[in-house]
Chain A
Amino acid sequence: MSFLSPWSFLWLLLIGPLVALYILRRRRQERVIASTLLWQEALADLRAERPWRRLVPQVSLLLQILAIIAGSLALARPSGSASIPSGAQLAIIVDASSSMAAFANGEETRFELARNAAQAYADDLPPGGRMMLIESGRETAVLSPLTSDRHALSTAVDRLQIRGTSANLEEAVAIASERLADSPEGSRIVILTDGSQQGEVELLAALPIEVQEVTIASGYQDQNLGIVDADVRPRPEEGADRADIFARVLNPSSEPRDVFVIAELMPGQQALASRRLRIDSEQSSGVVLQVDLPPDDQGRAAHVGLRLEPADGLPDVFALDDQVVLPSPGARRLPVFVIGTPPQSVMRALRTDSEVELFRTSLPALAEREEQTPLDGLQIFCGDVPAEAPGGDSIVFAPNQNQVFEARLADGERGNITDWSEADPRLRFANLGRVRFGEARDISGMTPLVQSSAGVIAAGIERPAGETTLFSFNPDQSNWPSDPSFVIVMRNLLERARNRRASGGIPDGPLGESLRVPASDQRSVEVETPSGATIEAPVQGGLAIVPIQAEPGVYRAEVGERELFAMRNHLSESESDISHRAVFVTGEGQTLAGVEAPEERSDLWQWVGLLLLLILALEIAWATRSVSGRPSERRRRAA
């Protein structure tokens, strides 16, 4: 604590004259009594019983001295950096990027320190003050709006989690600035961060911004080794199950490090290969491990795990980037079920893909299946389509019905393609300008993909469990198969289906992002995290949003009789460098990082004011106390 006006302590010099005046000119009411003999004896009795009673006559002086001390303290304006002025509004932004998971000391992570600081702000919220809490991860989330409810704030602090591999502090500050517009004087934005962002962080707000960096102990600033890139590719020329595992390991610390890179088959952690690396300081090093990865019993193959193990005995304070999980090449094999009579051009395109396993069937045959589990692969409907959309990905060509799943189709017309959605990944790199079709039907009820003079002739719809792409015309009755765009679109469709299947049926996402588990026929789903914990989430609209922490590894979900999974990895070179690199600048270019401007401890004013009032009340009570008219017990007895 410091004092904004320390000269005010000169008021304490008043104590000297006060004591002198008290001694020299203390005025008491004088009473002449017959004899002081009995009074002296009574006082002697009291002093023998309570020696401190000698001080009782000086109570008034003591109270006045206390009043001077309290007044001087108040005038000295005690200040501190962790206080909130009364009535002020406060926005606490907590950096929830993955680097905050690094240990700041031997016991606590940076994020835990930041969370404790946020909780301290909530606890110290003065009367009239309000606070909002913002979690700045890959996305900015307002965990608590402006409120003075400490319980609500504590609950919001408990919900703070590390989300993703980056923090958009600029966006968080912009949101806070907007919410705190027209806030009273003393309001400010506080950012709790480790400052491990790269480069300048420009903070624009109409009110003061205070950047509080968590205190990181010596030896914990940059001691880290992390996998910043990884991939698995098959090497069929050397064997059916042979694959190469690529990895790049970063050493952001200021000294060279030795590390083992270990590849394991998951689950079970069966060691596949290991390599020792020496990485210079602030450098990264690549490594290739050749392994055999047989497919599992579902043809998906197992997962490959990569992890780091320091070989030099030095610490690694950041664990999120020490392991990576990857789908094995076997997962790239895609079963494709063709239902009905397919266009010849489509069949040719399918057969050119060596990782496609073709299965021909029909709607009646599918209806006779004893298993009710959805087909684990891409389904292509030609002509007839089922009444309800199947699970997983599907493609429909030239349907016979007017109602196809969510879409309605009009009568056929001839026309030319006028426009197509270039941003859609299914049409990526495809130029449909030269395509001419014989007859097509206008599609409504789905997202348009290809527009023509006859209407929408290709459309798509995304569902939690997969997507459907609908072409209202027969490619064989157009010049499209002779155009390169046909092969490109077919490969795009197959690749999307392959990736979705390889990723486990749960859409891919960055570390810490909630899992979006498709579960149309369930009320809730349970997800097992890489560490073995279970998370249950309700299903709404056929989708369960399962919040997860920033934990790399494989997440498994049981949905009916299907097992879905998802992989989450850190893989961020920026976040693996946990050293302080950020330069925080305001709109005027002033760096505020690490600067803590003294703030008046307005919360102390209340206590000092209360103390002064108490002393005043005591002084008044003492000065005006009287027992006159008090019926004496002896007098009552005598009466």
Chain B
Amino acid sequence: MVNNHVTEVPEQTTKARLLDGDFLKRLRRLRLMVSKRFVGGAGGARQSLRRGSSVEFADHRAYVPGDDIRRIDWNAYARLDELVLRLYVAEEDLSVTVLIDSSASMSVGKPPKFDTAKRVAAALSYVALSGGERVGVTPFSTSIARPLPPSRGLARAPRVFRYLEEMQASGETSLRRSIDAFVARRGRPGLVLLISDFLDPAGYESAIDRLLSEKHEVSLFHIVDEEELYPTLGGDLRLIDSETGDAVEVSLDARTLKAYEARVDAYLEALQRYAKRRRVGYLQVGGGEPFEESLLRYLSGASATGIRR
């Protein structure tokens, strides 16, 4: 649904760095959809799991002392000769959290994966804000860093963009500790958009499982670099881990590259299989394809699992 407030967004400051105007126009026609219903803190455009006082009828139940007598369905009383209450679906705004990986490994790549991650985060935030959702941004590496508190309204988009632009990538990746910290800080479940390269030696499964167990709806945005997928290295190299500083000496020949590529394939396939098994949205961004194309295709529903138009 298109929000009229979009005209108020200071596009001059955003399109030059993160998103261009044409892309923003295309994003305006999109909305984030979730498969779950969440209990929101304020009335919003989304249905709350609580039945409330909005106009959309939900159900009847028997009157018990203490109920608001204004909700008694007198027409039903006339016909059934008993007191019943009309219940309505409580409409509530969706809480969207963008968890963005700001570890040092994200600073590597051409362009740096962190740039791509920030653009994806900006685009997703823009879509969410244009849909009237409450959007917060939480960077993480070893643990979560100072987050951008949730806010609603497209007018907040410049703030979100500025926040993203100012972010720096550093530190080691620890998905589990970061998710644990995030869950501990944020009690209400919502939509979590997890943007990362998922290169965590400890794995990603337990961290994402923790999110799912806390009733969050999760979508994974896997940022990859083309050089990571199709390395063009050669000769005797000392490969330095950008996060740990650990070194691996390799003599790169065709057989070594083939073994690496087999490992990359297995890693990507495992992540996709995991997402499918957990009914978690998954999108691979980067790797030579412009992120706008893959993101638009994903948001338009072609391959989305947890996000619908």
Contacts and interface: CB of A to CB of B under 8 A. Distances in A.
A628 B251 contact: no
Interface string A624-637: 11111110101100
A193 B238 CA distance: 67
Contact of A43 (B106, B108, B229, B248): B248
Contact of A42 (B105, B199, B229, B263): B263
A369 interface: no
Contacts of B106: 34
A28 B241 contact: no
A46 B256 contact: yes
A32 interface: yes
Nearest to A33: B239
Interface residues of A, number: 34
Contacts of B288: 638
> Which secondary structure dominates where chain B touches chain A?
mixed
A628 B199 contact: no
A30 B267 CA distance: 25
Given A45-B259, A634-B261, A29 B236 contact: yes
Interface string A16-49: 0000000000001111111111111111011000
Given A34-B225, A634-B265, A56 B251 contact: yes
A60 B261 contact: no
Given A57-B251, A638-B230, A38 B260 contact: yes
A474 B267 CA distance: 128
Q: Which of A40, A624, A630 has most B Cβ within 10 Å?
A: A40
A627 B233 CA distance: 7
A30 B236 CA distance: 9
Nearest to B264: A38
A59 interface: yes
A79 to B, nearest CB: 40
Interface string A596-639: 00000000000000000000000000011111111010110010
B263 A32 contact: no
Contacts of B199: 34-35, 37-38
Given A33-B240, A39-B239, A629 B259 contact: no
Interface in B207-265: 225, 228-230, 232-244, 246-257, 259-265
Contact of B105 (A28, A34, A635): A34
B43 interface: no
Q: How large is the interface on B (under 10, 10 to 19, 20 to 34, 35 or more residues)?
A: 35 or more
A629 B230 contact: no
A44 to B, nearest CB: 9
B260 A34 contact: no
Contacts of A35: 105, 197, 199, 201, 241-243
Nearest to B267: A38
B240 A28 contact: no
Given A35-B241, A45-B262, A28 B256 contact: no
B113 interface: yes
A219 B261 CA distance: 75
Contact of A32 (B232, B240, B256, B259): B240
A57 B249 contact: yes
Contacts of B240: 30-33, 36
A59 B235 CA distance: 12
A97 B288 CA distance: 89
A56 to B, nearest CB: 5
Given A28-B237, A33-B242, A38-B260, A627 B254 contact: yes
10 smallest CB-CB distances across A and B, nearest first, come from A626-B234, A34-B105, A627-B234, A35-B199, A42-B260, A42-B259, A34-B108, A28-B238, A36-B241, A635-B230
Given A34-B106, A43-B250, 6 more contacts: A29-B237, A42-B262, A56-B251, A57-B250, A627-B254, A638-B229
Interface of B: 105-106, 108-109, 113, 197, 199, 201, 225, 228-230, 232-244, 246-257, 259-265, 267, 288
29 contacts: A28-B237, A30-B238, A31-B238, A32-B108, A32-B242, A33-B241, A34-B105, A34-B197, A34-B225, A34-B228, A35-B105, A35-B243, A36-B241, A39-B250, A42-B259, A43-B256, A45-B263, A46-B255, A625-B234, A625-B253, A626-B234, A627-B233, A627-B252, A628-B232, A630-B232, A632-B230, A632-B261, A634-B261, A635-B230
